[in-house]
Structure formats: C-alpha cells, structure tokens
Amino acid sequence: MKEYAYFPGCSLEQIGLSYNQSSVETTKVLGVELKELEDWNCCGATTYFHVDELLAYTLCARNLAMAEKDSLDLVAPCSACYKNSYFTNKHLREDPDLADHINYALEEDDLSYSGQIEVKHLMEVFYCDVGLDEIRDKVKKPLEGLKVAPYYGCQILRPKKDDEDVEQAEFFEELMSAIGAEPVPYPLKLKCCGGSLLISNRIAALSMVRNLLQNAEDNNADVIATACPMCQVNLECYQPQVNQEFGTKFQVPVVYFTQLMGLALGIRGKKLGIGKEIVAATPLEPYTT
C-alpha cells in the first residue's frame, strides 16, 4: 500500500468538493492511502506571489514540513497547490539562505523542513506510481464510447520541471485510454483557462474559456476532463456568462479525471460527487449506475 500526505487545498473543501470525494474514492480502490495533512494551510494560489515572494514560500514550506514530519511525500490534486509546493521544495533545496530564513519562521509552529520529501500531482501518482497496467487491471466498467477532451491547463506542466516535455504531453490521454474512454484531439489542451484573471480582467478570462469550450465542441468531445479545481470551476460555472457575453450556446460538461476513473473502477456516481454540476453531466449517465 502506497501512502502519501494529502494536501487537498482550499478549493477542494468548497467549490471542488467532488474532486475531493472522487480522489479519496479512486485512490482507495487503487490501493493508495491518502493521509490528509493535519492542519494544512492555503498555498497562496497565484495571488500570494503578487504581494510577497518570501511569504508565499513560507506558507508552502509549512505544509512541506508537516508532511516531512510524517516521512511522506506530499500529493496535491490542485495544480496550483502542486506547482507552488513543488517549486517551494525546489527553491528550498537549492538555496540554503532561503531555507534558513524560512526555517526561522517555521520555528513558531515547532516545525522545520530539510528538503527530504517529493511533491507530486495526484495525476502523477496514478500515472507513475500506480501505473497504467494496474489501472487497466482494476477497470470494471470501461467508459466505452465516451469522448473526452483532456484539458491539462497550465500548472500541472508549467513551469518546466527537469527535462519533462512541456509541449507534447500525452499522459492524460493515456490515462483516459486506460479506462476505456476515447481521448479526442484537443489542440488547446495546454492553453490557460484564465482562472486567475476572472476577477482582475473578466472579459479576457471569459474569452479564454470560450476558446477552450469551442475547441472541445469542434472536436466532438462529450465532456472536458480536468485535473485542477480552478480550471473546472472556470470552464464549467462561467459558461452562462460566456454565453451571455458572446452570444454562444455552450453546454459542455466539465468533470474531474478522477470522476471518470472512479466510474470505470465501478464506483457509484454519487460517491464521486457526480450530480453537483451546473452543466449536467448527461453523457456520463450510461456509466453511473
């Protein structure tokens, strides 16, 4: 049994509830134990770095330190939490001055961090640690005939880590094929959804959402699958506003990759949070019983 320190992040407690439910349920079936980090704090999203870089690293370091105390690698389902935690880890390992300064602050919570753990995105745990063969073995109800647009978004891939291929990623598609779904070509899959601009430049954000929805529709996707709560909310919940702003008629369901995996693993739709959508996930109906 593989065990990880689980850092759900603020969005999964609220707006992304069904991502949390489906992450917990699918990992159980796959023999992965997620031990929720006790008393985790917000990673700062993108906004924190607007104000103070050092403070942003300190916030992430507190979570890393708590995971290190349990000698567990940290796993985040949210791409923003993942990116912030990953790069804080990297900077702390490479920069002793930064680590000193931050450890001085961590003392206030009786913590310290020495760079001993790894940070992973939940999708990486499925793809690399569990592995596609194992997943294929455990599939009970392949999602045959379901056309999925795999939306990577930004922070699961960017900034670039080591020598990973940030332009031609295929792991999302492979995961979808492993559960019997059909990944459709999705040329804009790496383009930003504009999530962080929703408040500061609404029109820019809505037009970015529109392009992504259009691209999924043009490629006959039944659903868009995401690996980030902010992408999900942005693409799904703002469809009415996109439609109003641009005179479009989008009704594209946007679900979490863990919800699709859960269905294929034979978990009931309700346990995966299916039914909480604003744009009903009707194409999933044949698979939800």
Partner 1 sequence: MVKPSFSDEIANLLHASHGNPLITCIQCGTCSGTCPAVDYMDHTPRRIIGMIRANLKDEVLNSNTFWYCASCYHCTVRCPAQIDIAETMYALKRYSIWKRVHQEGLVGPTFSETFVKTILRSGRSFEPILATSYLFSAGVRELIQEGVTATKMMLKGRLPMLPPRIKRLDNFKRMVSRVIPLEAE
Beta carbon nearer to partner 1, 173 or 277: 277
Quote the least distance from Cβ 16 to partner 1, whole Å: 8
* φ, ψ of residue 250 in degrees (nearest 5): -65, 140
Q: How far is the CB of 265 from partner 1 (least distance, A)?
A: 24
Under rule CB under 8 A, residue 64 binds partner 1? no
State yes or no: residue 200 binds partner 1 (CB under 8 A): yes
User: Of 123, 178, 179, 208, which lies in the binding site for partner 1, with binding defined by CB under 8 A?
Assistant: 208
User: Distance (Å, rounded) from C-alpha 134 to C-alpha 155?
Assistant: 26
Least spacing, CB of residue 184 vs partner 1, in Å: 21
Give the Cα separation of 185 and 190 in Å (integer). Answer: 12
In the list 139, 202, 218, 248, the residue contacting partner 1 (rule: CB under 8 A) is 202
Cα-based distances in Å from 277 to 228, 253, 270, 273: 15, 8, 12, 9
Residue 227 interacts with partner 1 (CB under 8 A): yes or no: no
The closest of 15, 10, 12, 8 to 278, measured between CA atoms, is 15
Q: In what order do the strands lie in the sheet with 147-150?
A: 182-183, 147-150, 223-226, 254-256
Show contacts with partner 1 in window 70-129 (CB under 8 A): 87, 91, 95, 98, 101-102, 104-110
Does residue 166 interact with partner 1 by CB under 8 A? Answer: yes
Alpha carbon separation from 149 to 17, 131, 187, 218, 221 (Å, rounded): 22, 21, 9, 11, 6
Residues that bind partner 1 (CB under 8 A): 10, 13-15, 17, 39-42, 44-55, 57-59, 62, 87, 91, 95, 98, 101-102, 104-110, 154-155, 158-160, 166-167, 190-192, 194-197, 199-205, 207-208, 237-238, 240-241, 244, 276-278
